[in-house]
Amino acid sequence: MNRQPEPGAAAHWAGGTRVFYAVPLLALAIPLFANPYTQFVVNLMLVYVLVAVGFNLVLGNLGQLAFANTALFGIGAYTAAMLMVHAGWPFWAAIIPAGIAGAAAGFLASVTALRGIRNYYLAIVTLAFGELLRWTYIHGEVATGGTDGLAVPRADFLGIVLDSETARFYVFLLIVVVMVKAISNLLQSKVGRAIVAIRDNELATASLAIPTGRYIVLAFMLSGFVVGVAGSLFAVLLGQVVPESFGLIELILHFAMVLVGGLGSLFGSVLGAVALTALPEFFRGFPGLYEMFFGGLLIVFLLIQPRGLSALCAKAWPGLRDRYFRDR
Amino acid sequence: MAMLLELAGVSVRFAGLQALIDVDLTASGGEIKAVIGPNGAGKTTLFNAISGYVPLAGGEIALNGSAIHGLAPNEIAARGVRRTFQNGGLFPELTALENVLAGLHARIDASFVGILFGTRAARAAEREAVTRARQLLDLLGVSHLADQQVKSMSGGQQRTIEIVRAVAGEPPLLLLDEPAVGLAPPVRAQLIELIRRLAGEMGIAVLLIEHAIDLVMAAADVVAVFNGGAKIAEGPPGAIRNDPAVLEAYLGHV
């Protein structure tokens, strides 16, 4: 990030670097006063931060209506769970393969996009892909455990046994900070610029000697990797992987996180994931009310603030504005 | 003068329509060649053929003696052909500076891994590009627009930014597709001045599609006239003005 202020790049993220590290540093103290359930919700937020950040890469930055996100999430979760259950791999060794499996699925989605299947057609193809995978989880009982799913064995991360929410929290936090920082670096570089340029005008991007096809594939694969890793964390957090976790309702939740946070904003995806993971907890005592409230809130929020929480925050603290994300 | 660009017998066909018929054309460094003709004459198709956006049905296109037809648009651009687009080819959400930085993409020497981990070298490469982009905006007199989003700019400002972005990669060949459309007269005069500087000071070969005859006469060294997909005349502006074939193409039988 811009430690020395760049002669150009305005003030984007000028205060962002400090905020970037301050938030996880403050978060280190959460286990001191959180009960195990609250800690579980915070851990879930961390998982969803990766889910939203990964989804946003394709949806917001690349501007492609690809809805394979739950498919990527599920592939990551099942890959990690199967490696741990069937092959006896430790959790830490299964994280990267989960990401790679997600990236491979992202690659498949990118091939359809490269072949000119875009917009609504890409949306329906990727939705179908997700449902097809769910069917596979249900019917591939030998590997996936069918509708009962897989019980994930006790996880350990490089010698640390993840048998408490607190232990999981510190490991998850580390993984999330490293990945979000890497994506942030990428989005602020020529790579991020090329991806946004493709969204704005693909033909013109090619006229600048930018290999558009390669960047489309890259964005999809990166998205798949990030969401796949999120899947592996999800598997360990819940202790089980079942097909119903990766259906359409889940997809709508992912979509809402990206939109509420701010389409195309990395910072927004983090905010959106945290906000929409926390929200249901306030309605735990009122079953049935949550869905109503969630739907209503989503409509009202997007009507008055279509650029999301990120634009709202950028107005108050301009230093938090992402590069290539405008609040107008 | 050694030829930078050479088209020999180039034809382009769209489902039964002959968009370009057996076109020979050259361009050389420092020369401004205007491409004129009525609507549907094949001017933009010519640009699309050179920059790789449409496939050839026949003929050859060579840049510095090596064939470029059949390459993808980004590969042709990488060899030094840059263009602007008739309907505006900017990235509206990005600022002028960011648009120009996109034009410098291939010159930013940072590895993927370096970028991912934010290494010193990768950050330095990006900073260097920002400095260069600001210089270019300054050089062409639009540095005050650097941090403005292009979608909030006037048509004239946008066209200037698009030209700055196109020349950022220091291309030997620049294709300008109707850069003066919709511009007010004083802005047009500035644009002519700018194009003359690109050719004169930077030695760029400029192919210029333009409808405004006054601009063509003021800016071009050579004029190539197209009609119905074929090149019907080529020569200095003064001679073209009185060419019978050109008069007929524009005015019909007199």
pLDDT tens readout for residues B117-127:
999 999 999 99
The reply to whether A288 falls in a domain is no
Residue A123, Cβ density class (10 Å: 0-12 exposed, 13-18 middle, ≥19 buried):
middle
Question: Which of A2, A182, A194 is facing B102, going by the closest CB pair?
Answer: A194
Residue B150, pLDDT above cutoff 80: yes
Q: Report pLDDT for A311.
A: 87
Residue B91, pLDDT above cutoff 50: yes
Lowest mean pLDDT: which of A213-217, A252-256, B48-52, B239-243? Answer: B239-243
| Tens-place pLDDT, residues A11-67 | 344 456 777 788 889 999 999 999 999 999 999 999 999 999 999 999 999 999 999
Residue of B77 and A21 predicted with greater confidence = B77
Q: Do B102 and A205 touch (CB under 8 A)?
A: yes
Q: Do A189 and B72 touch (CB under 8 A)?
A: no
The C-alpha atoms of residue B248 and residue B254 are separated, in whole angstroms, by 7
B71 touches chain A (CB under 8 A): no
Q: Report pLDDT for B253.
A: 56
Shortest distance between the Cα of A187 and any Cα of chain B, in A, equals: 9
Residue A58, Cβ density class (10 Å: 0-12 exposed, 13-18 middle, ≥19 buried):
buried
Q: Report pLDDT for A264.
A: 92
Q: Report pLDDT for A1.
A: 35
The reply to whether A114 falls in a domain is yes
- Under DSSP, the state recorded for A328 is -
- Tell me how crowded residue A323 is: count the other CB atoms within 10 A of its CB: 22
Best probe of the B interface among A20, A190, A202, A328, by most B CBs < 10 A, is A190
Residues ≥6 apart with Cβ < 8 Å to B253: none
Residue A72: which domain range?
16-250
Number of domains in chain A: 1
Q: Do A206 and B165 touch (CB under 8 A)?
A: no
In A, what residues contact B, Cβ < 8 A?
Answer: 1-4, 6-10, 181-182, 185-186, 188-191, 193-194, 196-197, 199-201, 203-212, 324, 326, 328
Residue B60, pLDDT above cutoff 90: yes
CA of A260: how far to CAs of A269, A272, A308, A310, in Å? 8, 5, 5, 8
The reply to whether A116 falls in a domain is yes
Residue B215, pLDDT above cutoff 90: no
Q: Contact A233/A46 with Cβ under 8 angstroms?
A: yes
Given the structure tokens 């496939």, which residue do they identify?
B55
Q: Report pLDDT for B110.
A: 94
Low-confidence ranges of chain A (pLDDT < 70): 1-16, 327-328
> B50: closest CA among B34, B64, B70?
B70
Q: Report pLDDT for B182.
A: 76
Residues ≥6 apart with Cβ < 8 Å to A196: A61, A264, A324, B91, B93, B94
The C-alpha atoms of residue A14 and residue A5 are separated, in whole angstroms, by 7
Share of chain B above pLDDT 70, in %: 98
Q: Contact B62/B6 with Cβ under 8 angstroms?
A: yes
Q: Contact A219/A66 with Cβ under 8 angstroms?
A: no
The C-alpha atoms of residue A244 and residue A260 are separated, in whole angstroms, by 24
The reply to whether A35 falls in a domain is yes
What totals of helices (H) and strands (E) does chain A contain, helices first?
A: 15, 4
Share of chain B above pLDDT 90, in %: 74
Write the ipTM.
Answer: 0.93
The reply to whether A79 falls in a domain is yes
The reply to whether A56 falls in a domain is yes
Question: Which of A10, A185, A201 is facing B91, going by the closest CB pair?
Answer: A201
Among chain B residues, the shortest Cα distance to A199 is held by B91
Question: Which of B89, B101, B118 is facing A207, going by the closest CB pair?
Answer: B89
User: How many A/B residue pairs have CB atoms within 8 Å?
Assistant: 123
Question: Which of B77, B89, B127 is facing A6, going by the closest CB pair?
Answer: B127
Beta strands B32-36 and B205-209, pairing class: parallel
The reply to whether A53 falls in a domain is yes
Residue of B191 and B102 predicted with greater confidence = B102
Among chain B residues, the shortest Cα distance to A10 is held by B147
Q: Contact B175/B207 with Cβ under 8 angstroms?
A: yes
Q: Report pLDDT for A14.
A: 44
The reply to whether A200 falls in a domain is yes
